[in-house]
Structure 1
Amino acid sequence: MTASPRIHLVNPMLNPSGGSEWRTVSLYRQLEPSADVTVWHFREAPSQAFAGVRMSGIDTRRLSFPRGGTLVFVGVYFNIGHWIRLARPRRVILTYNTPDAERLAERVDLIRKACGLEPEIVFCSKELADQVPYRGIVEPSLVDLDAFVPRDRSGRDGLRVGRLSRDAPEKHHPEDMALYARLAEEGCEIDVLGATIAMQEASFDTGNVHMRAIGSVKAPEFLGNLDCFFYRTSPLWPEPWGRVIIEAMASGLPVVTDRTSGASSVIENGLNGLLFDTTEEAYDLIMRLKADAALRQTLGEAARQTAESLLSDEVRAGVQAFYLQPTAPS
């Protein structure tokens, strides 16, 4: 009987709303039925949000680290310890999903020297792939279409506008708090999950603005209670993809996002979402959605269809086939 392929997924697994963490979990769930998969985290305890995933802590003092098989680093933003020199993998895959070309080059050089292998690179978007001098494949983050599903939003009063992300300051645009206040004055309800401490402590003239700590509500439940999803980041953080945008689209929400995020590439303006360049344009688009329930429904239905196409069974099968190869494809 042939042994199942051994696959090691490496990520710190600390942030319950991190895109890299949930990319890791989604990949684990896709591969686990057909492979011996372990998620390796650092010595810090992983977030409880990832319960149900088989995990092991990397601890060189106890000789606990990945060995053999296929080694997958989900992200290049964290350090790789000296254990890599003893790992002896057959394949090494680097997921490049944060814009840091210097770190990527360092990781490629380390893998070449420590493992004697040419690392394969998986990009989270074509836009990010075009920024570096390496070849690889573009792979979507595998959102669970059974967890993020459309809800019946007919008969609702007003417009509940929501946003979800990590609570890092660079994930929030400096003009967004003023935009939220303006929308609230026009009768919109604002709900931000992943607000920074400063945002949570801010005061508003109306009571229909909610600034929530990350992890206080599960993402599918949060998105299910919205009528519109708004997303952009600080100019200091160019969003390479934006998994939450796809989660919102899968939830049947009309998405209003700026054109700089990688995930905006799957949005056809006016057909399955709305794109903007300025804060004033964002305000106008959200107010347009507030006044037009039929448009919200049409965009939301098209958004779900886009998510289903992006994450189809054929796409998932291709992702699985790539990782299950015992050695690097020629």
Structure 2
Amino acid sequence: MSRKPQVHLVNPMLNPSGGSEWRTVSLYRQLQPSAEVKIWHFREAPSEAFSGISLGKIDTRRLSFPRGGTLVFVGVYFNISHWIRLARPRRVILTYNTPDAERLAARVDLIRKTCGIEPEIVFCSRELAAQVPYRGIVEPSLVDLDAFAPTDRTGRDGFRIGRLSRDAPEKHHPEDMALYARLAEQGCEIDVLGATGEMRAAGLAPEQVHMRAIGSVKAPVFLQGLDCFFYRTAPEWPEPWGRVIIEAMASGLPVVTDRTSGASSVIEHGRNGLLFDTTEEAFELLMRLKGDPALRQSLGQAARSTAESLLSDEVRAQVQAFYLQPDAPT
């Protein structure tokens, strides 16, 4: 009886709403039936949101670290310590999902020198792949289409606009608080999951604007309570993909997002979502949705279909086949 392939996924696993963390978990779940898979974290304790996942702590003092098999670093934004010299993997895969070409180059050089093999690169979007001089594959972050499922939103009172992200300042556009206040004045309800401490302390129209701490509500439940999903980041942080956008689309929500995010590439304006360039355009589009339930429904249905196509069984099989290759391709 042949042994299952061995795959090690490495990520800090600190943020309960982090795109890299949930990319790691989704990949773990996809590969687990056909491989021996383990998620490795280090130093700090992982978020309690991942308590049901098989996790191992990298601890060189106890000689606890990945050995052999396929070694996957989900992100290049964290450091790799000297244990990599003893890991002896057959393949090393680097997931490039944050725009930092200098760090990527350093990781590629480290793997070449310590492991003696050429690392393979997985890009989260075509836009990010075009920014660096490396070849690789573009892979969507796998979203659970059963967990993020549409709900019946017909007959609801009011109009709730929601947003979900990490609570880092760069994840929020500096003009958004003023936009939320303006929308609230027009009768919209605003619900932000992953608001920064400063946003929560602002006390903006508390009866109509909800600023929630990160992790206080599970993402699928949060999205089910919305009528529309709004998303953009600060200008200094162009979103390389935006997993939360795909989660919202899978939930059957009309998405209003700016054109700078990587995930906006799957949105056809007016068919499965709405795109904007300025804050004024965003306001006008959101007010248009508020007054047009039929448009919200048609956009949401098309968004769900897009998510199903993007994350089809065929796509998932291709992802699985890539990670379960026995050796690095020549």
Q: TM-score, normalised by structure 1?
A: 0.99
Amino acid at match of 1:299: L
User: Are residues 187 and 110 of structure 1, via their aligned partners in 2, closer, same or farther at CA, if it must alter by over 3 Å?
Assistant: same
Q: Structure 1 residue 110: deviation in Å? A: 0.1
Secondary structure at 2:34 match in 1: coil
Alignment correspondent of 1:286: 286
User: Take 2:321 and 2:277, find their aligned partners in 1: how far apart are those partners?
Assistant: 39
User: Take 1:45 and 1:37, find their aligned partners in 2: how far apart are those partners?
Assistant: 20
Q: 2:244 aligned with 1:244, yes or no?
A: yes
Alignment correspondent of 2:69: 69
Q: 2:260 aligned with 1:255, yes or no?
A: no
Overall identity of the aligned pairs, in %: 83
Q: 2:76 aligned with 1:112, yes or no?
A: no
Cα deviation, 1:116-171, whole Å, max 9, x if unaligned, reads 00000000000000000000000000000000000000001221000000000000
Alignment correspondent of 1:182: 182
User: Take 2:123 and 2:249, find their aligned partners in 1: how far apart are those partners?
Assistant: 21
Alignment correspondent of 2:129: 129
Amino acid at match of 2:79: N
Runs of 4+, deviation exceeding 4 Å = none
Asked if the contact 1:184–1:206 (Cα under 8 Å) also holds between the matched residues in 2, the reply is: no
Alignment correspondent of 1:234: 234
Asked if the contact 1:185–1:206 (Cα under 8 Å) also holds between the matched residues in 2, the reply is: no
Secondary structure at 1:174 match in 2: coil
Q: Structure 1 residue 51: deviation in Å? A: 2.1
Q: Which moved more, 1:151-160 or 1:107-116?
A: 151-160
User: Take 1:78 and 1:203, find their aligned partners in 2: how far apart are those partners?
Assistant: 35
Q: Structure 1 residue 272: deviation in Å? A: 0.1
Secondary structure at 2:8 match in 1: strand
Report 1:1-330 matches (<5 A): 1-205=1-205, 207-330=207-330
Q: Structure 1 residue 44: deviation in Å? A: 1.3
User: Take 1:329 and 1:310, find their aligned partners in 2: how far apart are those partners?
Assistant: 25
Amino acid at match of 2:224: G
User: Take 1:304 and 1:33, find their aligned partners in 2: how far apart are those partners?
Assistant: 26
Q: Structure 1 residue 114: deviation in Å? A: 0.2
Asked if the contact 1:250–1:308 (Cα under 8 Å) also holds between the matched residues in 2, the reply is: yes
User: Take 2:150 and 2:62, find their aligned partners in 1: how far apart are those partners?
Assistant: 47
Asked if the contact 1:73–1:94 (Cα under 8 Å) also holds between the matched residues in 2, the reply is: yes
State the aligned residue count.
330
Amino acid at match of 2:165: S
Q: Structure 1 residue 276: deviation in Å? A: 0.1
Q: Structure 1 residue 236: deviation in Å? A: 1.0
Asked if the contact 1:5–1:69 (Cα under 8 Å) also holds between the matched residues in 2, the reply is: yes
Asked if the contact 1:17–1:165 (Cα under 8 Å) also holds between the matched residues in 2, the reply is: yes
User: Take 1:198 and 1:207, find their aligned partners in 2: how far apart are those partners?
Assistant: 18
Secondary structure at 2:239 match in 1: coil
User: Take 2:205 and 2:146, find their aligned partners in 1: how far apart are those partners?
Assistant: 38
Q: Which moved more, 1:188-197 or 1:41-50?
A: 41-50
Secondary structure at 2:286 match in 1: helix
Q: Structure 1 residue 16: deviation in Å? A: 0.4
Amino acid at match of 1:83: W
User: Take 2:120 and 2:38, find their aligned partners in 1: how far apart are those partners?
Assistant: 19
Q: Structure 1 residue 328: deviation in Å? A: 1.1
User: Take 1:51 and 1:136, find their aligned partners in 2: how far apart are those partners?
Assistant: 32
Amino acid at match of 1:207: E
User: Take 1:205 and 1:243, find their aligned partners in 2: how far apart are those partners?
Assistant: 29
Asked if the contact 1:256–1:286 (Cα under 8 Å) also holds between the matched residues in 2, the reply is: yes
Asked if the contact 1:255–1:274 (Cα under 8 Å) also holds between the matched residues in 2, the reply is: yes
Secondary structure at 1:135 match in 2: coil
Cα deviation, 1:31-62, whole Å, max 9, x if unaligned, reads 00000000000021111101221110000000
Q: Structure 1 residue 206: deviation in Å? A: 5.9
Amino acid at match of 1:122: V
Q: TM-score, normalised by structure 2?
A: 0.99
Asked if the contact 1:193–1:212 (Cα under 8 Å) also holds between the matched residues in 2, the reply is: yes
